[in-house]
């Protein structure tokens, strides 16, 4: 089986976080200061949260395409490319970037992933599986 991810959904946005990162943040508290997660440091250290929303949301707000990894329909081909099935997904509760609307999205731009991030986590065919 390929990489393992935790998933969480909030306000119609589904997010995938690598299991190892979930453990570092929420179980080992490596990035906590003053009872809060230091997201800036975690992202600088390599945290990637892949976010997916309904295609209709992107049609209504095309500017949001630069933030999301893809649509919810893109998740399955990404995981299939890894050789993963649903047993590689674990439901957990965590911060889901871009799930609270455009006003907050500007403050969360650091969570946007790059094409290189997709290739790193999902393999060389990942770029053709998303937006």
What's the CA angle centered on 118, arms 11 and 5, to 5 degrees?
Answer: 55
The model's pLDDT over 49-72, given as tens digits with 9 standing for 90+, comes to 999 999 999 999 888 888 999 999
- Under the banding of pLDDT at 50, 70 and 90, the label for residue 105 is confident
- The mean pLDDT value for 82-91 works out to 77
What's the CA angle centered on 95, arms 68 and 86, to 5 degrees?
Answer: 70
- pLDDT (0 to 100) of residue 2: 60
What's the CA angle centered on 66, arms 65 and 68, to 5 degrees?
Answer: 65
**Ranges 64-73, 87-96, 120-129: which has the least confidence:** 120-129
- pLDDT (0 to 100) of residue 68: 93
Which of 36, 5, 37, 31 is closest to 20 using CA atoms? 5
- The mean pLDDT value for 83-95 works out to 82
Torsion of CA 94, 19, 27, 69, to 10 degrees: -30
């Amino acid at each position: 089986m390929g990489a393992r991810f935790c998933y969480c959904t909030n306000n119609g946005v589904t997010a995938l976080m690598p299991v190892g990162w979930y453990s570092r943040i929420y179980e080992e508290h490596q990035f906590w200061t003053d009872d809060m997660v230091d997201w800036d440091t975690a992202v600088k250290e390599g945290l990637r949260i892949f976010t997916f929303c309904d295609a209709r949301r992107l049609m209504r707000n095309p500017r949001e395409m630069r933030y999301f990894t893809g649509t919810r329909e893109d998740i399955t081909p990404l995981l299939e490319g890894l050789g993963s099935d649903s047993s590689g997904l674990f439901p957990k509760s965590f911060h889901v970037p871009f799930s609270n609307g455009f006003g907050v999205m500007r403050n969360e731009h650091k969570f946007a992933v790059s094409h290189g991030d997709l290739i790193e986590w999902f393999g060389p065919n990942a770029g053709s599986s998303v937006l």
